[in-house]
């Protein structure tokens, strides 16, 4: 009887211990042994959307977007496969060694990833808007690598549905030559704790296809996806953008999908498609979109054509973005801008 009493006392503590353990673990634990090759991983990304203007702002909410749990179910139910989460880690870490990332910020990113997993969405996290490294790469090299040491360690046991993207749009003084060196160093650091994690790497000079010939692949790496950004013609996609000087002069620029307009876009994509095929590496279109001050018909025409090119060439994509200036979702009325949404996810798919 005494043994039975002791057992009855112990059982509740076991349940409490199990519950606490479950809460501290990622929703989907490391299952990297189950993943396919990198091309299958790219298929897992499929059709995606950026959760922009939220966590890459100085503080979430500063730019009008705070992520809500319902957004993830809306995105999944709309037919998307994944989300890309731009993150300003550099704004939430010590400036000096050991460059520690705030634990509260990690907890917020944990929540975002879990919301994606809860809705069976793959998720990309990156380092976004690290402006200081663009101006002075050498001064921020150690901090950049230390950020990745921490991110990689923190998420090393997460599912293969979590993807890392090393840095958004290297530009300015962060030249293609420096980028080739720095990203490979970051990748090597990631591989210490995440030997099987799929990693996305973009191009220098703002990530567009024009710098593809300058990009150098690392040796002995077979789990990397090339990601590019596409906003051409820029005068169309960024007309009236408040952060682009002189862009009001472009207001009224249209894109109707003429043969010449399509040909220019196709040539840009072809340069990347051919290069990637020669290197046997899959391609992701990590950002593309047209700002809301362009006319809706032109936005739909352009977006639809880009999405079709991606589908035809096995390129996963992430539209920029969900619910802000380029967005396809009205958070006030809780509904999609139907024609723009259908440019990405046609009704018959």
- What stretches of 96-213 show up as alpha helix (H) in DSSP? 103-118, 131-135, 137-154, 176-193
3-state DSSP assignment of residue 284: strand
The active-site residue, picked from 56, 205, 287, 321, is 287
Structure tokens at 112: 């975002």
Structure tokens at 122: 């793959």
CA distance 85 to 80: 14
CA distance 279 to 270: 14
Residues 6+ apart with CB under 8 A from 30: 156, 157, 158, 159, 160
Residue 205 annotated as catalytic: no
Indicate the helix (H) or strand (E) that contains 349. Answer: none
The active-site residue, picked from 56, 60, 169, 205, is 169
Residue 70 annotated as catalytic: no
Angle between helices 137-154 and 176-193 (to 10 degrees): 20
Q: Tell me the catalytic residues.
A: 169, 287
């Amino acid at each position: 009887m005494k043994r039975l009493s002791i057992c009855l006392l112990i059982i509740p503590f076991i349940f409490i211990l199990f519950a606490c353990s479950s809460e501290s673990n990622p929703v989907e634990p490391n299952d990297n042994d189950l993943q396919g090759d990198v091309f299958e991983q790219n298929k897992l990304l499929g059709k995606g959307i950026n959760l922009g203007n939220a966590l890459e702002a100085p503080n979430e909410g500063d730019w009008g977007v705070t992520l809500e749990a319902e957004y993830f179910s809306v995105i999944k139910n709309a037919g998307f496969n994944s989300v890309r989460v731009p993150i300003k880690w550099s704004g939430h870490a010590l400036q000096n060694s050991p460059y520690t990332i705030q634990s509260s910020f990690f907890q917020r990113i944990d929540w975002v990833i879990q919301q994606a997993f809860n809705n069976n969405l793959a998720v990309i996290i990156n380092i976004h808007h690290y402006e200081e490294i663009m101006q002075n790469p050498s001064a921020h090299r150690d901090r950049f690598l230390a950020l990745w040491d921490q991110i990689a360690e923190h998420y090393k046991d997460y599912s293969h549905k979590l993807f890392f993207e090393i840095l958004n749009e290297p530009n300015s003084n962060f030249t293609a030559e420096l980028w080739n060196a720095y990203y490979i160093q970051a990748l090597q650091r990631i591989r210490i704790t995440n030997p099987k994690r799929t990693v996305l790497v973009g191009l220098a000079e703002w990530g567009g296809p024009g710098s593809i010939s300058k990009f150098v692949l690392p040796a002995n790496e077979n789990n990397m996806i090339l990601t590019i950004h596409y906003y051409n013609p820029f005068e169309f996609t960024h007309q009236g953008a408040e952060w682009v000087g002189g862009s009001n002069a472009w207001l009224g620029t249209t894109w109707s999908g003429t043969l010449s307009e399509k040909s220019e876009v196709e040539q840009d994509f072809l340069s990347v498609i051919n290069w990637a095929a020669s290197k046997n590496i899959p391609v992701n279109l990590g950002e593309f979109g047209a700002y809301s001050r362009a006319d809706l018909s032109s936005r739909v025409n352009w977006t639809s054509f880009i999405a079709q090119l991606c589908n035809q060439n096995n390129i996963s994509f992430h539209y920029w973005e969900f619910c802000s200036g380029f967005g396809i979702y009205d958070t006030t009325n809780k509904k999609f801008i139907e024609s723009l949404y259908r440019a990405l996810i046609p009704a018959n798919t």
